[in-house]
Amino acid sequence: MYLTTSFSDIFKSNFLENVTAVTLVDMAIAMALSFCLGLFIFFVYKRTYQGVMYSSTFGVTLVALCMITTLVILAVTSNVVLSLGMVGALSIVRFRTAIKEPLDIAYLFWSIADGIVLAAGLIPLAVFGSLVIGIILLIFVNRKSYVAPYILVIQCSSKEAENKAAEAVKAATTKHVVKSKSVQKGLIEINYEVRLKNDDTDFVNSLSEIEGVSSAVLVSYNGDYLG
């Protein structure tokens, strides 16, 4: 006699009736802690942000993501049928929002990880891990081991003016590299990536006064830094 068990028989078995109920106290504690840790992540994100345009909505998203993850994991761990349904539902979700800063990916994973760990009941791990991660980010991200670079755009009308401007740039900066140079009839435009001495920008005024230099523009630069 052979025992055959179909897929539907599995769903009708007593295995699925073994549902672990999440009490209101557990839910309240998990959601409250996820909210607090989400605010902590938001605080660290705000203090360490170094991009061009700060987005407060992304910080709020980190708080919401931590709480939503906690909610989902609580539901998954309490009901087997619901967990299978959520796996299927989440598999069709697609996110199209571009991540502008590489560090933002770390914050997203941090929020999701906190939500998962909290819902799993590992509260000390979630709190201690968040404190360690937050302290490390505050120390290393805010630590400036370089001089902020700038882009200097100079427009001049002759080779002589270009040479004089290059000498002035060399004297006023600790490091300078020509990024691009375009030449038209009667117009030479040079883009320098420079690092200033003591953040002194007065040399740009002197550059504009050089004979043959029509304009000198200094722009803050957040791209790849000089080695």
Per-position pLDDT tens, the chain of length 227: 445 555 555 445 454 444 456 677 878 888 899 999 999 999 998 888 876 666 778 888 889 889 988 888 887 776 655 555 565 555 555 656 666 677 888 888 889 888 888 888 888 898 899 999 989 988 887 665 556 778 888 888 888 888 888 888 888 888 888 888 888 888 888 888 888 777 777 778 888 888 888 888 888 765 544 44
What integer pLDDT is reported at residue 35 of this predicted model?
Answer: 92
What integer pLDDT is reported at residue 39 of this predicted model?
Answer: 92
Which residue bears the tokens 């299978």? 84
CATH number of the structural domain spanning residue 188: 3.30.70.260
Domain span at residue 38? 13-141
Question: Based on the domain organization, do 166 and 108 belong to the same domain?
Answer: no
What CA–CA distance (Å, rounded) separates 157 from 224?
A: 30
Question: Based on the domain organization, do 126 and 63 belong to the same domain?
Answer: yes
Specify the DSSP class assigned to residue 120: T
Contact 41, 107 (CB under 8 A): yes
Give the Cβ contact number of residue 130 at 10 Å.
Answer: 23
Q: What is the CA radius of gyration of the chain?
A: 29
* Residues paired with 177 in a beta bridge: 193
Question: Based on the domain organization, do 133 and 188 belong to the same domain?
Answer: no
Does some domain include residue 1?
no
Select from 141, 165, 193 the last residue of a domain. 141
Question: Based on the domain organization, do 162 and 209 belong to the same domain?
Answer: yes
Tokens of 119: 């819902």
* Residues paired with 193 in a beta bridge: 151, 177
Contact 42, 63 (CB under 8 A): yes
What integer pLDDT is reported at residue 106 of this predicted model?
Answer: 87
Question: Based on the domain organization, do 24 and 114 belong to the same domain?
Answer: yes
What CA–CA distance (Å, rounded) separates 33 from 126?
A: 9
